[in-house]
């Protein structure tokens, strides 16, 4: 049976939806083992074990997490050799893609990024050109390294909690590498993470720096707030809120686009949403081509009315 190594970076209090998806995908391919570069609590490890994972690899030195991608790539290469894994699965964030690339160089292995579907023979389907095309490809080396887009695979229901066994492994860290010199905790908003949210209210250039109406609507719906690159580049909202080709890929039940033109780069990050509602003053805006419901109007008039009505109805 093929051994599948799943790399889980930045463990939280519990497994995130994207982590459950990648563990489920790994279990469908073979026997799953996990690599954790950072410390994880008992609840998180129980969650990992509930997906049939019997052991996880940890670096013997805690310095790995302080050497950014170079250290994590070195650790992951050691974990692949220790486990004999034939498949390595990672998330699709920028950092994960760079780790995958460095790992590919270390192992002389093929790398496929942006995977949205995977056959049993490891033929991967990936999206290219901002989601305008799909490509089927397959790694021909002994080890296949794949980064998986969130919301592309179903997270199967986990089994009973089970604590996997820790396997410490030595890691030779690179001498020349960027290191973490300090950390600042991100303010807690109380809203769900973009990748986890069932409802997302996203704003673009049309908000003109004022995300207040979007935040009020998102809070009324129990959703998250996202943005286009134009809005994040303007400094109106943090870059972690960016959705699109160079941002996060989301697939909520409801996606409300306010003041976003809907250029192809934005579509790449949200076009798999179940229901898309677009609000824009320009009736010819490209976003209306993919929207299920469109409202031609001023978002500063439409959004407060929607928020008031939702609150009246107690939705």
Q: How many CA atoms lie within 13 A of 254 on its CB side?
A: 13
Query: Which strands make up the sheet holding 87-90, listed edge to edge?
Result: 133-137, 124-128, 110-118, 144-148, 87-90, 3-8, 31-36, 55-59, 165-169
Q: Is 276 labelled as part of a ligand binding site?
A: no
Compute how many other C-beta atoms are within 10 angstroms of the C-beta atom of residue 68. Answer: 16
Q: Which residues contact 59 (CB under 8 A, 6 or more apart)?
A: 37, 75, 78, 168, 169, 170, 171
Distance between CA atoms of 274 and 41, rounded to whole angstroms? 34
Q: Is 205 labelled as part of a ligand binding site?
A: yes
β-pairing verdict for 224-227 and 199-203: parallel
Six-digit token pair at 230?
């134009």
Q: Is 245 labelled as part of a ligand binding site?
A: yes
Q: Is 280 labelled as part of a ligand binding site?
A: yes
Distance between CA atoms of 306 and 160, rounded to whole angstroms? 42
Compute how many other C-beta atoms are within 10 angstroms of the C-beta atom of residue 140. Answer: 8
**Helical ranges in the chain per DSSP H:** 17-29, 42-49, 68-83, 94-107, 212-221, 229-233, 264-270, 299-313
Distance between CA atoms of 139 and 29, rounded to whole angstroms? 15
Q: Which residues contact 120 (CB under 8 A, 6 or more apart)?
A: 28, 29
Phi/psi for 276 (5° steps) reads: -115, 125
- Report the chain's C-alpha Rg in angstroms: 21
For residue 115, what is the enclosing H or E element? strand 110-118
For residue 293, the cross-strand partners are 277
Q: Is 244 labelled as part of a ligand binding site?
A: yes
Annotated binding site: 205, 228-229, 242-246, 280
Annotated binding site for FAD: 205, 228-229, 242-246, 280
């Amino acid at each position: 049976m093929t051994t599948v190594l799943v790399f889980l970076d930045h463990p939280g209090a519990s497994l995130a939806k994207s982590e459950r998806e990648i563990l489920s995908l790994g279990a469908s391919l073979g026997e799953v083992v996990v690599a954790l570069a950072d410390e994880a609590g008992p609840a998180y490890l129980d969650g990992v074990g509930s997906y049939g994972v019997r052991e996880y690899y940890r670096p013997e030195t805690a310095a790995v997490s302080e050497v950014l991608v170079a250290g994590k790539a070195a650790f992951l290469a050691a974990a692949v050799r220790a486990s004999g894994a034939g498949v390595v699965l990672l998330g699709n964030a920028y950092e994960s893609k760079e780790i995958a690339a460095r790992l590919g160089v270390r192992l002389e292995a093929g790398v496929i990024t942006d995977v949205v579907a995977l056959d049993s023979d490891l033929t991967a389907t990936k999206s290219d050109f901002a989601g305008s095309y799909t490509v089927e490809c397959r790694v021909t080396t002994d080890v296949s390294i794949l980064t998986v887009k969130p919301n592309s695979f179903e997270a199967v229901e986990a089994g009973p909690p089970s604590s996997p066994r820790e396997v410490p492994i030595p890691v030779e860290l690179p001498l020349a590498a960027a290191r973490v010199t300090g950390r600042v905790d991100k303010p807690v908003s109380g809203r769900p993470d973009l990748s986890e949210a069932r409802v997302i209210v996203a704003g673009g250039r049309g908000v003109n720096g004022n995300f207040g109406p979007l935040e009020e609507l998102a809070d009324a719906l129990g959703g998250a707030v996202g943005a286009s690159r134009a809005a994040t580049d303007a400094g109106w909202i943090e870059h972690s809120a960016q959705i699109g080709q160079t941002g996060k890929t989301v697939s909520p039940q409801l996606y409300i686009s306010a003041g976003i033109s809907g250029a192809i780069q934005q579509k790449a990050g949200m076009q798999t949403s179940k229901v898309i509602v677009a609000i824009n003053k320009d009736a010819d805006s490209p976003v209306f081509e993919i929207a299920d419901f469109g409202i031609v109007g001023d978002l500063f008039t439409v959004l407060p009315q929607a928020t008031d009505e939702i609150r009246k109805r107690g939705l």
